[in-house]
Structure 1
Amino acid sequence: MNTTTTTTTTGGYQERYAASLMNTFGAPKLLLTRGAGAHVWDADGKEYVDFLGGIAVNALGHAHPALIEAVTTQLQTLGHVSNFFTTAPQVELAEKLLDLLGVGVGGGRVFFTNSGTEANEAAFKLTRRTGRTHVVVAEGAFHGRTMGALALTSKEAYRAPFEPLPGDVIFVPFGDTDALAAAVTDRTAAILLEPIQGEAGVNIAPEGYLAAARRIADDHGALLWLDEVQSGMGRTGAWFAHGGITPDVITLAKGLGGGFPIGACIGIGAAGELLQPGNHGTTFGGNPVACAAALAVIATIEDEDLLEHVTVLGHKLRDGLAADPRVTEVRGAGLFIGLDLAADVSAAVVAAAQEAGFILNNPTPGRIRIVPPLVITADDVNALLTAWPGILDTAFAGEGEQP
């Protein structure tokens, strides 16, 4: 029997959601119906400033004209061809990414996917082509939910229900150069690190840590694999967060397509030759529509000078959030921001912010993550900073005397 109703309120759709979708995410907070820039509206007509950006995905915000035009034009021209063929957007995007990485055409090879976890799956398989299986990963790491990527993700609650996972992976403390050096041996295939850990609450690699990882990898003939799924594509005010070092493998997704699903596994130098015909594949990866979307995102970031915009607004936002004594630490670069609270009230902060018209994220009980669209305006930032003390008042109300 068809039980679908015509209910269009958030509450009505939450009931329909519970009856028809797998309960992998819990109950949705809102039914969102449209967006413009860094603003979204729910089914009840309430407006929010989106400081989550689809979890660092919507680089150009919502309904950006450049993205709409690129996707529409490409879909009207050629929508999908499979990887028995190629298209101009696929080749042009691969060339552009190699250029942004500073290695140029011929300096690496790109494998396109549909998501970050798929990019990491491809990279994981690539490391096996070295003839080694041992991978060293940082504690606090998040690299995806599929079985291979999950084996590289440190959170016990994610891993335990699905063990045994692909083995020969060990975890060491993030930022601890001595621990990393002790763990890597001549049987290590790769060191896998995020320059900035997003899921753990925006933890930034200490100064010199990535350069040390590069040296340690070289000393043992291992690959250095950097996951920039969340930190890449302008999020930090630079195209990539890894600075002046050159990794062997880099994985991208999230902001790359500005909301259109696309990821990339990039092998630099000899690592780009490790996957050969028959070693890996994808049906939708490198789809011309997804590649056209990514090219539009990159062109818009360049044309609108968004790297500088992200840098300036990121400083303003971090300084403003840190001004309240109930915030004990603010970390980040550009519009990739994490903060620690004086009590484990992050869920209450997110709820109070939503009530006040702002969408935030709490990756841990005592931390808030802020990853808005790169096009967010100074007015949007000022609005959050003005509301911030009141949001914290509400969230800390049940904690007794405030710090």
Structure 2
Amino acid sequence: MVNNKIKAAEENLLPVYNRFPIALDHGEGMYLYDTDGKEYLDFAAGFAVSGLGYGNQELNDALKAQIDKLYHTSNLYYHENCGIAARELNRISGMDRIFFTNSGGEAIEGALKAARKYAYTKKNGRYEFIAMENSFHGRTFGAVSVTGHDSYREPFEPLVPGVHFAKFNDLDSVKALVNDKTCAIILEPLQGEGGINLAEQSFMEGIRKICDENDILMICDEVQCGMGRTGTMFAWQGFGVKPDIMAMAKGIGNGIPVGAFAMKEEVAEYSLKPGDHGSTYAGNPLACAAVRKVIEIFEKEDILGHVNKVAPYLTKKLDELVAETDCVTKRKGKGLMQGIVVTKPLKEVNAKAVEEGLLIIQAEGNVIRFVPPLIVEEKHIDQMIEKMKKVLA
């Protein structure tokens, strides 16, 4: 039965993903189950999406209730969930204006357009972006254009012009690229795909200072590192360095496809106006019901408090794995977004992990990425470590 399901997918889907040969059926809490009933401990969370895990009944009930009422109109009309979800996202993000999207890539597109329009409205002649090496911002044209990996960029060139790449955590390399055409600097406070690289406090503060002194916008990509993963609702809050524009997605909907870009009031005043940007499905009642309920559950169940309680245990156990395992050389990251550098081939490590009933994902630099649901407990971390010891033996 499973083979037939996989065969149907292989014969009909465009082969752009390196999928594992398992067909998942359902999930519960920290675990996923395939159609044969095999259990998998999930430390991938659908690429850092399912912060509340699987089968959260309160969220499920809210989504089912909304489906029975209304799940699409268009953006020509208001609906209650959109306004409330926007208000709540602004409140927890510290921003002022929100535009909903369908994905993180779309959120980045909107952020880039907002920055360009801001410069256009101010008539300052600015249009260039400074992005970071080893960054990843998505796979649409604008997002790929500011992604600092040649392998993602080269097949699709020429891309959006006026993008320059600085070295992450090297403020001098950023300063060397700033000129009178720079409209924005974009970065992830914690790089995910690029290898779980955490920004230094001085780097974040330095970027903010450069932007303030040169009328440049600071854009933070919080698509993966946001929504509680680092111990604050959004990663920039842990640095106390507020961006002008930020992009979010993944965890804000716990698996319902939804993203958003948000901005300060001044940026909104000088940037996108009616007709400049739009999306047929973005901000629909179902997606916004998910955002609204996810935020409610986060605060009611003190998910941030839980992350800050359990993350030190994950750090400790990963540090022990580094000390005890010859093929593991380093731990990186923060909160519940961490990684280990291994000397074994990642394809081999991932395959063995699946055999052991553990789901993990990789990142650049031979890094195994651990981004579990935020409801993870110490007992789950212990289970993961035991499985990883077998995988890495």
Structure 1 residue 27, shift from structure 2 partner: 4.1
Matching of residue 49 in structure 1 with residue 41 in structure 2 = yes
| 1:392-403 correspondence to structure 2 within 5 Å | 392-393=392-393
Q: Displacement, 1:214?
A: 0.6
Which residues of structure 2 form unaligned runs of 5+? 121-125
Q: Are residue 126 (structure 1) and residue 114 (structure 2) matched? A: yes
The size of the alignment, in residue pairs, is 380
Which structure 1 residue ranges, 4+ long, deviate > 6 Å from structure 2? none
Q: 1:176 is aligned with what amino acid? A: D
- SS in structure 2 opposite 1:61? coil
Q: 1:60 to 1:390 in 2, by over 3 A?
A: same
Asked whether the equivalents of residues 135 and 148 of structure 2 are also in contact (C-alpha less than 8 Å), the reply is yes
Give the equivalent residue in structure 2 for 1:240.
234
Paired residue type of 1:329? K
Aligned to 2:294: 297
Aligned equivalent of 2:174: 180
Which residue does 2:268 correspond to in 1?
Answer: 272
* 1:345 to partner: Cα distance: 2.6
Matches within 5 A, 1:3-402: 8-9=1-2, 11-103=3-95, 108-129=96-117, 130-131=119-120, 132-243=126-237, 244-273=240-269, 274-324=271-321, 325=323, 326=326, 327-341=328-342, 343-364=343-364, 366-393=366-393
The equivalent residue for 1:398 is none
Structure 1 residues 168, 365: closer, same or farther in 2, change over 3 A?
A: closer
**Aligned-partner Cα distance in 1 for 2:280–2:307:** 34
For residue 264 of structure 1, give the secondary structure of its aligned residue in structure 2. strand
Identical columns (%): 38
Q: Secondary structure at the match of 1:323?
A: helix
Distance between the aligned counterparts of 2:88 and 2:365, measured in 1?
39
> Structure 1 regions of 5+ residues with no counterpart?
1-7, 394-403
Distance 1:313 1:356 in 2: 23
Take 1:148 and 1:200, find their aligned partners in 2: how far apart are those partners?
Answer: 18
Mapped to 2, the partners of 1:266 and 1:255 lie a distance apart of 15
Match of 2:176, SS state, is: helix
Say whether the 8 Å CA contact 2:341–2:365 is kept in structure 1: no
Other-structure match for 1:4: none
Does the residue aligned with 1:332 lie in a helix, a strand or coil?
A: strand
> For each residue in 1:350-381, what CA deviation from the matched residue of structure 2 results, as whole angstroms up to 9, or x when unmatched?
22221111101112362100111111222211
- Opposite residue 91 of structure 1, the aligned amino acid is G
Give the root-mean-square deviation of aligned CA atoms: 1.3
TM-score norm. by structure 2 comes to: 0.94
Partners of 1:40 and 1:384 in 2: how far apart? 14
Q: Cα distance, 1:249 vs. partner?
A: 0.2
Deviations 1:222-261 (A, max 9, x none): 1000000001111111101113122110000000100001
The Cα offsets for residues 301-327 of structure 1, whole Å up to 9 and x where unpaired, read as 111111121122221112112213332
User: What code does the residue aligned with 1:46 have?
Assistant: K
Q: How far, CA to CA, are the matches of 1:388 and 1:371 in structure 2?
A: 15
